[in-house]
Amino acid sequence: MGMENGAPIATLTDVAYFHRRGIRYVTLAHSRDNQISDSSYDTLRTNGGLSAFGRDVVREMNRVGILVDVSHLTDAAIRDVLAVTTRPVIATHSGCRHFTPGMERNLPDTLIRAIARNGGVVQVPFSHYFLSARSREVFFQAEKKLKDKGLDANSPEGRQFMTAELTTSGVSVRDVADHIDHIKNLVGVAHIGLGGDFDGVGLALPPDLADVSMYPNLIAELLRRGYSKSDIRKICYQNTVRVWQASEQRGK
């Protein structure tokens, strides 16, 4: 199990408590700064990165065997994590800022390289929110049309309307593969994973990658681009399993 916000960690002893309860990764912050770390979605920059307590939390997560997830964090906080951690980290659902200039929620090339030097993995998300400036605009325009028509996004009619609108936009698995290509060209296949975020982004997903049944569409696109079966196994699971196993080597 994972915890997509470290806010419930109020004392260092809580880290081991949550490990005993089955937690194996923690995203240090989510949409707001907390006592551990600043969030890329917040404007306060409360801690200037990681707090002193946050540094201790990272060390304790390393000790007990919980993966540190740097998605949602500010650039400064990610740099602080990488300066403290003795284990590889993961970015469970972060794309490349190369395609979304000015969007701190995605990673710049400098931090992708730094995560690779740490031995970690960047897990590419699939949502329109992360893929490009154009894909974000496409979704927001479709969402506005939905509201103008008075449709409920959760109704069959609303979902059908959004699927039709997004299909005509041309946003697809190709956009996801572009992020994978970018990371491969920067640091190699060993540092790429998949972070679909299906349960977090609602309808903001390419129509050909809208749920887990559509993974073969992405695999086919990677094969078309020349990725080997070995490369694809690494991207699909082996890289993340490697980092997970490294996290569990406690005391070594």
Evaluate whether residue 252 is within a structural domain. no
Residue 64 maps to a domain = yes
What is the extent of the structural domain holding 218?
Answer: 2-247
Q: How many domains does the chain have?
A: 1
Each of the 252 residues of the chain gets a pLDDT tens digit; together they read 999 999 999 999 999 999 999 999 999 999 999 999 999 999 999 999 999 999 999 999 999 999 999 999 999 999 999 999 999 999 999 999 999 999 999 999 999 999 999 999 999 999 999 999 999 999 999 999 999 999 998 899 998 999 899 888 899 999 999 999 999 999 999 999 999 999 888 889 999 999 999 999 999 999 999 999 999 999 999 999 999 999 988 644
Q: Is residue 218 part of a domain?
A: yes
Report if residue 188 sits inside a domain.
yes
Count of Cβ atoms closer than 10 Å to residue 82 Cβ: 18
Residue 141 lies in a domain: yes
Kindly state the tokens that stand for 98.
Answer: 């190369």
Q: Which own/partner contact pairs does 44-50 have at CB distance under 8 Å and 24+ positions apart?
A: 45/74, 45/76, 47/77, 48/76, 49/74, 49/76, 49/77, 49/79, 49/80, 50/77, 50/80, 50/81, 50/84
Residue 104 lies in a domain: yes
Domain assignment present for residue 197? The answer is yes
The domain that holds 124 is classified in CATH as: 3.20.20.140
The answer to whether residue 117 is domain-embedded is yes
